[in-house]
Amino acid sequence: MGRYKLLAIDMDGTLLNEESLISDDNRNWIHKALEAGISVILSTGRGVQKVYPYTDEIGLKTPIVSVNGSEVWKEPRVLLKRHLMKTEWIRRLHEMSVKYDTWFWAYSVEGVHNKENWVPEELETTQWLKFGFFTEDDQSRNRILDELTAWGEFEITNSHPHNLEINPKGISKASGIEEVCRLLGHSMSEVVAMGDSLNDMAMIRAAGLGVAMGNAQEELKRAADLVTVTNQEHAVAKIIREHILV
């Protein structure tokens, strides 16, 4: 086996194509990596409920980093570690979304909440994991970013140029992968991480090989060790073939 022992893959914009599908090439090379003893894990901003259809589809039994690191799973449906948001944070973040008239979503242990299913009475009894804002109004988004930064309580990233994703300070895809490495006995220098957005930045910087997608945000490309092809061009297969199984 070569230098790298673990491949951490973002989902949207990375593993998945524009139709939210896993290509045959990506699936086949993931299986080849697994057969060669490589740990292949998904590291995503999604809640785990939206990850399971894909792990079930390709038969992945490996750890999962979900909700940008707020949950780490030993394997599908077996929790390893969870980091919660304070209820008061969620209350204030929701108030900001109303103030600036943005779309919002909030991941909890049970699922995802947004403008269409928000129930204020459930705020105190819900275990919260992440909050997100979406607006195409750059001025509003920048004002939200300034306010959030001033709190000093959060990791602030995005999964799209028009959104902001908020996790507790110190929690990221990188912290989640570090938990997986401790579990499996790998070091971060043995990790290849692939992503396309700023919520992938921490793992791209921390990995032994940080790979930005050809469709990645420019800031991520500048931070990466390598820029590969787009999510429409079977990038995961390419990285496994050219940099892991060599």
Q: What is the CATH number of the domain that holds 106?
A: 3.30.1240.10
Identify the CA nearest to 111 among candidates 155, 79, 177, 67.
Answer: 67
Q: Which of 168, 193, 211 is the last residue in one of the domains?
A: 168
Query: What's the structural domain count of the chain?
Result: 2
Residues 180, 78 within the same domain: yes
Identify the CA nearest to 96 among candidates 162, 198, 199, 166.
Answer: 166
> Above 70 in pLDDT, residue 28?
yes
Q: Which of 148, 168, 188 is the last residue in one of the domains?
A: 168
Residues 181, 230 within the same domain: yes
Residues 23, 52 within the same domain: yes
Model confidence over 43-76: pLDDT tens digits? 999 999 999 999 999 999 999 999 999 999 999 9
> Above 80 in pLDDT, residue 27?
yes
Has residue 1 been placed in a domain?
A: no
Domain that holds residue 234: 6-82+172-244
Does the model's pTM come out above 0.85? yes
Model confidence over 35-51: pLDDT tens digits? 999 999 999 999 999 99
Residues 22, 63 within the same domain: yes
Residues 21, 142 within the same domain: no
Name residue 192's beta-bridge partners: 7, 209
Q: What is the pLDDT of residue 160?
A: 96
2 pLDDT tier (thresholds 50, 70, 90): confident
1 pLDDT tier (thresholds 50, 70, 90): low
Q: Are 68 and 165 in contact (CB under 8 A)?
A: yes
Residues 47, 77 within the same domain: yes
Residues acting as catalytic residues = 10
Model confidence over 99-108: pLDDT tens digits? 999 999 999 9
